[in-house]
């Protein structure tokens, strides 16, 4: 199970309207439900919001990694959103967020899913990767930068 295998190009979204944390999570929930028939947008949204209530998934440096378990999610899936403008995400450093990596996993998530989350955090903690993602000007460029970062991270042997 790799990040590359659960993040297809069509789930790397460029110029997503921000507004607020709630709007970003609503946008993702609607988007993913339209593309994954087994998922219900309201359920995805309420689970992501429920997770945020436990503590913000804003990890700092303008990055958030919202994630949730979902009983209708058959296998882990990921999506990446580059927001058109930063939003307040109650991040640990107080900075607004413009890079959002969303992870949904099955209800019976195991250590492999925690490893995926760790891999996302590790990739997004890299200052050069964040800078390149922010400079991207097309959806394709955004996805290619992400893929390069994932592959580089995996080849370093730091992945689970």
Long-range contact pairs involving 49-55 (C-beta distance under 8 Å, separation at least 24):
49/22, 49/25, 52/21, 52/25, 52/90
**Beta strand 12-16 pairing with 77-87:** parallel
**Beta strand 67-70 pairing with 12-16:** unpaired
Catalytic residue IDs: 67
User: Tokens at residue 54, please?
Assistant: 């436990």
Contacts of 96 (CB under 8 A, 6+ apart): 62, 86, 87, 88, 89
Query: Which DSSP letter does residue 74 get?
Result: S
User: Tokens at residue 53, please?
Assistant: 């209530």
Is the dihedral angle over the CA atoms 75, 117, 85, 139 positive or is it negative? negative
């Amino acid at each position: 199970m790799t990040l590359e295998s659960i993040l297809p190009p069509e789930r790397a979204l460029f110029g997503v309207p921000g507004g607020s944390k709630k709007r970003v999570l609503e946008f993702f929930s609607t988007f993913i439900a339209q593309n994954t028939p087994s998922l219900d947008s309201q359920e995805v949204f309420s689970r992501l919001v429920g997770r945020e209530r436990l503590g913000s998934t804003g990890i700092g440096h303008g990055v958030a990694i919202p994630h949730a378990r979902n009983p209708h999610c058959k296998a882990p899936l990921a999506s990446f959103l580059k927001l058109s403008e930063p939003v307040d995400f109650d991040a640990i450093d107080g900075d607004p967020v413009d890079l959002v990596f969303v992870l949904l996993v099955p209800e019976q998530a195991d250590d492999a899913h925690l490893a995926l989350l760790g891999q996302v955090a590790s990739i997004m903690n890299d200052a050069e990767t964040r800078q390149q993602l922010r400079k991207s000007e097309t959806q394709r460029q955004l996805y290619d930068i992400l893929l390069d970062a994932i592959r580089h991270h995996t080849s370093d042997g730091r992945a689970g």
